[in-house]
């Protein structure tokens, strides 16, 4: 593709697959074994971590760090963080692995400063709020996008006004 020319659909899909392949080898290691019926509809397949790591080493020159996300972002213990907006789509099967409420963040009596926002969007799938707007978007997704924009604006304004802020 030449400079300034848009990528075709296949090129975009290939780039997305390539980016996801890189992420799963570097920072989002998520082995997914399959068990077959009645658990799922895939052919049973166990995870061969040794082979997976070797494949990542060959393709990207590095191996996955299985606990990187938990260590880097604090996992369910993100209460020490600030300026975090988490969304879950009600139709998203990944939702069950995500942080879905502030109660999960508060833990044993810990408070949250108000800059951790969690929303579950009705009739929405995985990261629909991060995609371009579409006339078919559910109203709740449109509302969450506006809330995200407002929250990020507040965080930037707080940082700009205070020189430090929580940004």
Q: What is the pLDDT of residue 155?
A: 92
pTM of the model: 0.66
pLDDT at 1 over 70: no
User: What is the C-alpha separation between 123 and 109, in angstroms, rounded?
Assistant: 33
Q: pLDDT class for 108, splitting at 50, 70, 90?
A: very low
Q: Is the pLDDT of residue 43 over 90?
A: no
pLDDT value at residue 6 = 46
pLDDT, position 167 = 47
**Chain Cα centroid distance, residue 59:** 23
Predicted confidence at residue 12, as pLDDT, reads 56
**3 state SS of 137:** coil
pLDDT of residue 76: 62
H helices of 88-138, where? 102-106
Report the chain's terminal Cα–Cα distance, integer Å. 38
Q: Tell me how far apart the alpha carbons of residues 102 and 11 are, in angstroms, rounded to a whole number.
A: 39
Find all residues with CB under 8 Å of 2, minimum gap 6, and list them: none
Taking 60 as the threshold, does the pLDDT of residue 71 lie above it?
Answer: yes
Q: What does the pLDDT look like over 148-164, one tens digit per residue?
A: 999 999 999 999 998 76
Q: How far is CA 125 from CA 29, 83, 92, 129, in A?
A: 21, 23, 5, 9
| Mean model confidence pLDDT for the chain | 81
Phi, psi of 84 (to 5 degrees): -125, 130
Give the DSSP per-residue string, 62-87: S---TTHHHHHH-TT-GGG--SEEEE
Using only C-alpha atoms, the chain has a radius of gyration, in whole angstroms, of 19
Q: CA 103 to CA 50: how far, in whole Å?
A: 37
Residue 147 pLDDT level (bands cut at 50, 70, 90) = very high
Q: Which two tokens stand for residue 62?
A: 């590095």
């Amino acid at each position: 593709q030449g400079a300034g020319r848009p990528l075709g659909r296949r090129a975009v899909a290939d780039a997305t697959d390539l980016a996801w392949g890189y992420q799963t080898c570097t920072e989002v290691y998520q082995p997914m074994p399959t068990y077959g019926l009645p658990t799922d509809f895939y052919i049973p397949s166990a995870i061969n971590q040794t082979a997976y790591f070797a494949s990542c080493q060959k393709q990207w020159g590095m191996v996955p760090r299985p606990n990187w996300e938990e260590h880097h972002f604090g996992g369910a213990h993100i209460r020490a963080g600030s300026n975090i907006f988490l969304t879950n789509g009600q139709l998203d099967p990944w939702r069950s692995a995500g942080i879905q409420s502030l109660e999960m963040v508060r833990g044993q009596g810990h408070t949250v400063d108000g800059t951790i926002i969690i929303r579950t969007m009705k009739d929405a799938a995985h990261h629909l709020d991060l995609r371009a707007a579409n006339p078919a978007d559910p109203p709740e997704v449109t509302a969450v996008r506006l809330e995200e924009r407002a929250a990020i604006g507040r965080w930037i304004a707080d940082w700009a006004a205070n020189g430090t802020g929580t940004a």
